[in-house]
Amino acid sequence: MLHLLQLEWLKMRHYRPFKVIMALYMVLLPLCFLSFKTSFDFPREFDIDSLFIFPNIWLYMGYAGNWLSFLFLGFLAILLIVREFSYKTARQNIMTGMSRREFIGGKMIFMLAVSVAATLYYTLLVLAFGFFNTDYIVMQRVTEQMYYIPRFCLMSFGYMCFAFLIGLWIRRTGLAILFYLTYTIILEPLLRLLTYTRIFPKSKISDYYPLNAIEDLVHFFSDARLQALMSSKNTPFSLQALPGWEAVLFSTFYIALFIFLSFWLMARRDL
Amino acid sequence: MKPILNIEGLSKHYGSLTAVDGLNLSVEQGQVYGILGPNGSGKTTTLGMVMDIIRPDAGTYNWFGGINVREARKRIGTLLETPNFYPYMNGVQNLKVVAHIKKTKSPDIDGLLEMVDLHQRKAAPFHTYSLGMKQRLAIAAAMVGNPDALIFDEPTNGLDPEGIAEVRDLIVRIAEQGKTIIMASHILDEVEKICSHVAIIKKGQLLATGSVGAIMDSDITIEVAAEDLEALKYILKDDDKISAVQSIGTDKLSISLDDDYGTAYINALAFRHNITLTHLVMKQKKLETEFLEITRNAAPKQY
Ligand SMILES: Nc1ncnc2c1ncn2[C@@H]1O[C@H](COP(=O)(O)OP(=O)(O)OP(=O)(O)O)[C@@H](O)[C@H]1O
Ligand SMILES: [Mg+2]
């Protein structure tokens, strides 16, 4: 395990896009978070300042990270695998003495490490901003929503596993990124809408699609107050985030599926 | 002789195209084994299959008498088709990746870079290397961890004459260390200069195998003529050093003969039988004509 992680580190530490992506992630996470003050159309009754104090800050910083993990860590996962094919280093690594399982396994471990690192950073930021912004620190309020920490990690890892699978399947950076974005932003919402209106009308099944489940791990509408205010606006489509335990359950299932498919795809293809 | 690689009935199809067709090969320790065949004959596909990057449709192979294939690959250095490295990393960093995969303790990276004459440029990123330098780095990478066997697929591809000479020289030096080398090439001259053994393949099928000496030299051709051609033919056919006698037109014979014997032997033979030769010309066949002949001929030959 450690041996495989070290190998990925040897490959990545000199890779400039990796450094740029990680740096952007670090810079943008607090900026995105702060921008919620101005950039979102919150219901008037909603107390925006409550986003920035304990315990809500766990969720809202996490939601800022949701976007960043989706974009930056997703792209990183695509680069992680596609360039091994464009440089033909995947075949060289195998010929040099790795098994295909080790090859994919090393990538998975590396992605997990990146997710953990992102989560640590998220935790540090929350603590820093939280203690700075909250006037009366009550420890119970600080720790109340700490369950967002593992959920943040699962979310980041989930996006990476999905992006990785697409990269492994398509093997072209541009196309893979295009598909990743198209599926997540257009295709899956369309499928969900279709499911909601036609296939299983008004049922919750439309919420169980993979990217939605991963997104709902840390979502605006995990905040019950906000959800209550928003749904009174009467939007056509389900505005509910999955309950936490359902999001965790389904995300875990989908992540396991993505990982399984990655190993499977690697095992049967020529390099 | 210890077996290094054994291939039995290996096949690969791409749609309706048969890239490799029931190939049998065996390579033994210390051989410099050339796989010779025209473009598209299935050399790279064959080597890719035994290195586990291409899935065979049929057949089996084993390395070092049948050890675990992943462990086997750690004892083999491979340059297949192109030098494959991380372009943004320099020579040293790239070799470190190779050493890490092979789990080589304290690899002599500087020594290897010295060997392939890349020491000067070791700190420059791979993508700034010339083709010849890339090829040489690939040879250095193949040598990481002091492997028992090496695979070089078209190692001189795309190099200028000087580069070709350097790489060939390097391979010969590696072979002199007693390493088993499997080298694919479509260049006869290269195989002739470097290899001890050769397998000739065409359209994925094995046409001939044997030592380079046997394949190249066994058929020295000598042309002879005499007054009494029939009598000459009779005694020539009777001699066990002569493998074939053919008539050329009505007044000449062409004989194939073991390369340890030459025109003097034929002359003496005729003289012993009181036949005076009116014509005696040695026509050493080059591997090239041999190669073309073999690849035109469908039936496998065993030398
Ligand atoms: N991925 C592939 N898809 C389809 N056909 C392929 C593929 N790889 C190889 N082939 C075909 O298989 C045959 C054998 O190819 P291979 O690369 O093994 O030949 P080669 O002997 O190495 O040739 P060269 O001397 O040009 O390197 C060729 O006809 C080639 O077009
Ligand atoms: Mg080839």
Domain annotation covers residue B294: no
Q: How many domains does chain B divide into?
A: 2
- State pTM to two decimals: 0.86
Is residue B68 one of the residues assigned to a domain?
Answer: yes
Q: Is the pLDDT of residue B17 over 90?
A: yes
Is pLDDT at B199 greater than 60 in this prediction? yes
Together in a domain, B101 and B59: yes
Ligand positioned closest to the Cα atom of B45:
1
Give how far A100 is from chain B: nearest CA, Å. 9
8 Å CB contact between A160 and A76: yes
Q: Is the per-residue pLDDT at A234 higher than 90?
A: no
Instruction: Provide the b/e sequence for B271-295 (b: ≥16 CB within 10 Å).
Output: eeeebebeeeeeeebebeebbeebb
Task: Indicate which CATH number applies to the domain containing B272.
Answer: 3.30.70.980
| Residue B33 and residue B152 in one domain | yes
Q: Which residues line ligand 1 (CB under 6 A)?
A: B 14, 17, 19, 37, 39-45, 154, 186
B96 to chain A: nearest residue by CA? Answer: A10
**Distance from the alpha carbon of residue B294 to the mean position of ligand 2, in angstroms:** 20
pLDDT above 90 (res A22): yes
B208/B92 same-domain check = yes
Average pLDDT, chain A: 90
Q: What is the mean pLDDT of residues B124-152?
A: 94
| Same domain as B109, residue B149 | yes
Ligand 2 center to B81 CA (angstroms): 6
Facing residue for A91 by CB, picked from B76, B84, B103:
B84
Judge if B175 and B152 occupy the same domain. Answer: yes
**Are B84 and B12 in the same domain?**
yes
Residue A239's pLDDT band, with cuts at 50, 70 and 90, is low
- Residue B289, domain member (yes or no): no
B292 found inside a domain: no
Residues B128 and B107 occupy one common structural domain:
yes
Give residue-wise pLDDT tens across range B258-295.
767 778 888 888 888 888 888 888 776 655 666 666 66
Place of tokens 């810079």: A27
Last residue of a domain, one of B198, B215, B232: B215
User: Any idea what DSSP says for residue A209?
Assistant: S
B76 contacts on A by Cβ (under 8 Å): 95
CA–CA separation, A99 vs B76, rounded Å?
14
Give the distance from residue B44's alpha carbon to the nearest chain A alpha carbon, in angstroms: 13
Last residue of a domain, one of B215, B232, B267: B215
**pLDDT of amino acid B285:** 61
So what's the ipTM on this one? 0.90
CATH number of the domain encompassing residue B150:
3.40.50.300
Instruction: Examine residue B297 and state whether it is found in any structural domain, yes or no.
Output: no
- Same domain assignment for residues B169 and B228: no
Range of the domain at B16: 3-215
pLDDT at B75 over 60: yes
Does residue B101 form part of some domain? yes
**CB distance A88–B82 less than 8 Å?**
yes
The shortest CB-CB distance from B100 to any of A10, A88, A270 is to A10
B104 and B249 co-located in one domain: no
Summarize the confidence of residues B36-42 as an average pLDDT. Answer: 91
Whether residue B84 is contained in a domain is answered as yes
Among residues A114, A155, A150, A143, the alpha carbon closest in space to that of A12 is found at A114
Provide the number of structural domains found in chain A.
Answer: 1
Residues of A in contact with B82 (CB under 8 A): 88
One domain for residues B61 and B205:
yes
* B122 and B241 share one domain: no
Q: Are residues B58 and B133 in the same domain?
A: yes
Query: Which range of residues forms the domain containing residue A33?
Result: 2-268
